[in-house]
Structure 1
Amino acid sequence: MLYAPARSIFAFGPNDIWVAVGTAQHWDGVRWTEHAGILGVGDANKIWGTSSSDLYFVGNNGFIAHYDGTSWRRIESGTRQYLQDVWGIVNQQSGERTVLCAASHPLGYGEKKILSINQSNNVDTLPWPSQRVVMSVWISKPSTFYTCGGGVFRRSIDQQWKEIAGANVIPTLTEKVRGTTDNDFFVAGDFGVVAHFNGVSFKLYPEASAARVYKSLDFKGNQMVAVGYTSSRGIVVRGMRN
C-alpha cells in the first residue's frame, strides 16, 4: 500500500509497524492494512503508543485520534493548529499514562501550545509562557518534560518551563528532541543541525550537516538516527557511540 509519502513510522516489532501517510496504515508481517474509518484521519502526521491496542495519531487541524486495537476514537483537541509531535510515558509505579502534543506552526503563525492527554483521553493545555515555536516534545520521566523548536526547554518538579543553559549554541529551529535520560538526549533541525546534551552542555556535530533539514530522529542505546532531506533527496544519518 503506502501510496503517499510516509510522514511518521512507529514500530513495536518487525511484524507490528504503524505508518502515518495522511491515513493510518499497519504492517502485520504479511500485508499492509489501511485504517481510514475515522473522520479526519487524512490529517495524521505523528504517532505514539504503548502497543497496537493503545495508539495515538496526531496531525493537522488539531487532529488527535486514539486506537484501542478494535476501534478509533476522535479526540477533541480544542485547537485547529498543526500538531507537530506526540510523545508519552507510563509511570511504572502508578500505571498512569502521560501524553503530550506540540502545537505550533513552524513559521510561528497562530497559537503555540503544549497539550496534555489524560487517562480518559480528555485534553488539557499546559502553560507555555515562552510563546516560542514548539515543534517536538519528549518525556524523560513522568515529572520531567522537554520541548524543542525555538529553543530547548525543560519542565520538571517545580512545573516551570526553563530554557536549558547552553542551548544558544544551536543557531536555528530544531524539529525533534529524543533521548534516554536527562543527561543524554539529542535535538535535530534546520540547516543540518544535530546536537547532543550531556547534562551540562550541548555538542554540535558538523559532520552530520549533509541535510538541509532534519525532520526527525530516534536515539536508543548507543545509536542515533536522524532523517531529513536536501533540495533533491532524502538523507539518513546514523551516529554510533564509541
Structure 2
Amino acid sequence: MFARDPLPFFSAPFTFKKNANHIYVKLSLQDGPPMDFMVDTGCPYTLVVTQQLAKQVGLKPLNAQSALTKYGMVSEPTRISFAETAYRRSADVVKHDLPGAMILTEKNVGSYFEEKRFGGILGLGFLYLFNVLISYQKKQLSFFAQEDPYPILASAPELPFLLDTAKDQFMRVSIDIPGLEVKLSNVVFDTGSIYTILPKNGLTKSLSINTPTVGNSSGCWA
C-alpha cells in the first residue's frame, strides 16, 4: 500500500530481457512504428538513437557545429510517444515533444543496439522531467508531475540521491554492503547496468570482492 497515492499522468509497462539484463519500454519516434527503448538512469541524455533509426523516421541533425558532441549529433526537435500504457489521464499525456535527441556516431554502440534489437535509450534527461516510480514487482513505470507529492511505499524505505546537473548528471546514492563494515558513497544508480554493484579499480581489492555480482537491472556502480 502507498502512504501517499496520487494518480500518475500515465503508467507504462516495461519488459525485462534476461539476455541483456535491461528494462525496456515501447516508444514511437516521430509517429513511427513502436520499438523497444532501454530505460537507463546512467544515461544523462533525454533520448539516444542510432543513425539507422534516425534515417528511418526522418530525424535529422541540427545544421550547426555546436550540435556535434563526443558521442554523436544533436537532432532537430522530435516527438516520442509511449506505445503501451497501463493507465493514462488522457490520450495526449503519453506524447512528448523533445528539444532533440542524441544521434549516435559511434558505430560500435550503434551495432550493439542493432544486435540486441532495440531502438535506443530513454535516459535520465527525460525521467528528470517527472517524479518517476519504477516498480520491478509490477514491471511498470509511473510518471507523476514534479509538483505532485511523489508516491511512497509504506512498507519500503526511501533511498535519497544527489543529482548535480552542473557536474555530470548522474544519480548518486550512499549504500551499505551486507557482510562488509563499509559504507559506499558517491555510487551511481544505473538501471542500464547489468551488475548489482560494480566497484572501481582499486576498490575491489580493498573490499575483498573478487568479481562483480551479477544482478538485475537495478544495478549500481561505484
Q: Same fold (TM over 0.5)?
A: no
Point out the structure with the larger helix share: 2
Bigger radius of gyration among the two: 2
**Shorter-normalised TM range:** under 0.3
Q: Normalization by structure 2: what TM-score?
A: 0.28
